């Protein structure tokens, strides 16, 4: 492990906007507590404990009624902390796991029963060894019968090389944090155009989260939120948003999660777009049985 994480914001503001009923935080994490769920030796950062009770408290404070907890690299393929949170959260919580290629159907079924609906593959080099393509193909073959999807964390500047492989995976694809595009390079940049190209495929979904990661201007991160708005307006039925609490690998300007919610005024500027982003789309992907 290397860099020591900053603590998450101790007292986020109450957002100015009221979230629609059934709003879902579609990307957040639980870390530890380390005494019960130790971090993986392979982690490239040293997290602070961010246990489920704090996450649930944040969701109540911000107005989220549902959420998707995404396995973070600091726990590797040990999904116990995430699964423990899903079980405590009940049907309002779904999960994304990270798994080894030799996982079997029984283990996948147990994750499914806990609320897991997808697996995550990391292609960003700052989180460790990039995902192995053969292993991904094997895992995708195993999750397809469960109706799961693949969550992809990559840097869009690598899309020229990555896109053919990603398109060959025959499950729905959910892209993290707007493909981590360089928001200073303008919407005409090749990486953003390749991202849009990928999204023309109806299997692809985009998380318009991560403005605090992508921003070059700093708080309130509006330069990055503008890209979120472009994606929401263009693909209103295949976008998701999440807080990314407790914000791993943010080493300056730790965001106030209430202020991040307020960025949705830019990202989804009408009540209709906001409801699709926070309610309708996550419901279709994570709670289709309720439709
Ligand atoms: C995120 C982003 C990051 C970290 C992780 O799994 C992780 O550790 O996802 C990052 O470093 O950009 O989605 O939380």
Q: What is the CATH number of domain 20-286?
A: 3.20.20.140
Tell me the two tokens of residue 152.
């992809």
Q: Rounded to the nearest 5°, which phi and psi values hold at 4?
A: -85, 125
Binding site membership of 189 for ligand 1 (Cβ less than 6 Å): no
Compute, in angstroms, the gap from residue 70 CA to the centroid of ligand 1.
Answer: 9
* 121, 248, 252, 260: residue to mutate for ligand 1 pocket, most atoms within 8 A of CB: 248
With a pLDDT cut of 70, the percent of the chain lying above it is 99
Cα 58 to Cα 10, 170, 192, 289, distances in angstroms: 10, 35, 32, 26
Cα 29 from chain centroid (whole Å) = 9
- How high is the pLDDT of residue 128? 84
Which of helix, strand or coil describes residue 83?
Answer: helix
- How high is the pLDDT of residue 7? 94
Residue 164 burial (C-beta neighbours within 10 Å; 0-12, 13-18, 19+): exposed
Ligand 1 atom 3: the closest Cα is on which residue? 248
- How high is the pLDDT of residue 3? 83
d(CA 3, CA 9): 18
The catalytically annotated residue of 25, 176, 244, 257 is 244
For the chain, what are the domain ranges?
20-286
Output DSSP code: residue 48: P
Ligand 1 atom 4: the closest Cα is on which residue? 248
Compute, in angstroms, the gap from residue 249 CA to the centroid of ligand 1.
Answer: 7
* Extended strands (E) in the chain: 3-4, 24-28, 45-46, 66-70, 93-97, 116-122, 149-153, 173-175, 204-207, 239-240
- How high is the pLDDT of residue 25? 99
Binding site membership of 255 for ligand 1 (Cβ less than 6 Å): no
Compute, in angstroms, the gap from residue 269 CA to the centroid of ligand 1.
Answer: 27
Question: Is the pLDDT at 1 greater than 60, yes or no?
Answer: no
Q: What is the pLDDT of residues 152-209, one digit of tens each?
A: 999 999 999 999 999 999 999 999 999 999 999 999 999 999 999 999 999 999 999 9
256 is catalytic: no
- How high is the pLDDT of residue 130? 78
Q: What is the pLDDT of residues 219-264, one digit of tens each?
A: 999 999 999 999 999 999 999 999 999 999 999 999 999 999 999 9
Predicted TM-score (pTM) of the model is: 0.97
Question: Is the pLDDT at 290 greater than 80, yes or no?
Answer: yes
Binding site membership of 77 for ligand 1 (Cβ less than 6 Å): no
Provide the 10 A C-beta neighbour count for residue 38: 13
d(CA 171, CA 271): 30
Check: CB of residue 283 under 8 Å from CB of residue 275: no
Banded pLDDT at 97 (limits 50, 70, 90):
very high
Q: What is the mean pLDDT of residues 114-119?
A: 98
Binding site membership of 248 for ligand 1 (Cβ less than 6 Å): yes
Q: What is the pLDDT of residues 23-73, one digit of tens each?
A: 999 999 999 999 999 999 999 998 999 999 999 999 999 999 999 999 999
Binding site membership of 176 for ligand 1 (Cβ less than 6 Å): yes
């Amino acid at each position: 492990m290397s860099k020591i994480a900053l603590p998450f914001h101790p007292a986020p503001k109450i957002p100015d906007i009221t979230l629609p009923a059934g709003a879902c935080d579609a990307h957040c994490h639980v870390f530890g507590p380390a005494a019960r769920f130790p971090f993986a030796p392979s982690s490239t950062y040293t997290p602070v404990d961010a246990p489920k009770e704090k996450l649930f408290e944040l969701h109540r404070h911000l107005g989220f009624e549902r959420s998707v907890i995404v396995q973070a690299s600091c726990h590797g393929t040990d999904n116990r902390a995430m699964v423990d949170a899903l079980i405590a959260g009940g049907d309002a919580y779904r999960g994304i796991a990270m798994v080894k290629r030799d996982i079997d159907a029984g283990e996948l079924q147990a994750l499914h029963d806990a609320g897991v609906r997808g697996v995550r593959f990391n292609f960003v080099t700052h989180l460790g060894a990039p995902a192995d393509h053969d292993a991904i193909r094997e895992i995708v073959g195993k999750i397809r019968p469960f109706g799961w999807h693949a969550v992809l964390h990559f840097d869009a500047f690598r899309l020229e090389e990555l896109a053919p492989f990603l398109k060959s995976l025959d499950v729905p694809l959910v892209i993290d944090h707007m493909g981590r595009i360089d928001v200073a390079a303008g919407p005409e940049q090749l990486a953003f155009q390749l991202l849009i190209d990928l999204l023309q495929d109806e299997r692809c979904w985009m998380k318009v989260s991560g403005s605090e990661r992508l921003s070059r201007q700093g708080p309130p991160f509006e330069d990055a939120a503008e890209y979120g708005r472009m994606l929401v307006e263009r693909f209103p039925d295949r976008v998701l948003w999440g807080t990314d609490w407790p914000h791993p690998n943010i080493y300056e300007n730790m965001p106030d999660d209430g202020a991040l919610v307020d960025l949705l005024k830019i990202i989804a500027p009408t009540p209709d777009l906001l409801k699709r982003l926070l309610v309708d789309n996550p419901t279709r992907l994570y709670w289709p049985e309720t439709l």
